[in-house]
């Protein structure tokens, strides 16, 4: 892997985040944490990440509201949502809001890492395509 994947994790379950950060670190993924959606937005105001992982249900600002705020200024960074709820309404709202994936808790760590790595690869491909696309030239008359 060239370069370390940088991930922002937002979840109100501190023990879950602490253990997840350790596992991701062992897998070569650098993780920063926030304990609610508002705190995640604060971190995003001064740091960039390759992938963002948000819990759907958090105090202060939930993951869906944070996703909407993120998408106002950043349409490129993949956002994965984690939820203990298999509610199709949440899933639909998340996907319409621009989520790259929606994973159910408890989520197998290998599934989560695979989702993070896949989202990062898709982002890199989109960035390469955007750079390679010829800029539209004005037509001469």
| Closest alpha carbon to 5 in 103, 99, 83, 115 | 115
Compute, in degrees rounded to 10, the torsion defined by CA atoms 115, 117, 120, 121.
Answer: -110
- By CB neighbour count within 10 A (0-12 exposed, 13-18 middle, 19+ buried), where does 118 fall? middle
Of 89 and 9, which is predicted with more confidence? 9
Place of tokens 């989702």: 115
Q: Go through the domains of the chain in sequence order and give each one's CATH number.
A: 5-131 (3.40.50.2300)
Question: What's the mean pLDDT in 15-23?
Answer: 94
Q: What is the pLDDT of residue 89?
A: 79
pLDDT average, residue stretch 107-115: 94
The pLDDT value recorded for residue 8 is 98
pLDDT digits (tens, 9 = 90+) for 70-95: 999 998 999 999 988 777 777 888 88
SS3 96: helix
End-to-end CA distance of the chain: 49
């Amino acid at each position: 892997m060239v370069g370390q994947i940088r991930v922002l994790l937002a979840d109100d379950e501190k023990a879950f985040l602490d253990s997840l950060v350790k596992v991701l670190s062992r897998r070569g993924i650098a993780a920063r944490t926030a304990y609610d959606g508002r705190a995640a937005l604060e971190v995003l105001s001064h740091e960039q990440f390759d992938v963002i992982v948000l819990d759907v249900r958090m105090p202060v600002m939930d993951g869906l509201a944070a996703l909407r705020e993120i998408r106002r200024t950043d349409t490129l960074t993949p956002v994965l949502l984690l939820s203990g709820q298999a509610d199709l309404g949440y899933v639909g709202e998340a996907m319409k809001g621009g989520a790259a994936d929606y994973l159910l808790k408890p989520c197998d760590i290998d599934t989560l890492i695979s989702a993070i790595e896949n989202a990062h690869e898709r982002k890199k491909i989109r960035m390469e395509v955007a750079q390679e696309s010829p800029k539209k030239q004005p037509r001469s008359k």
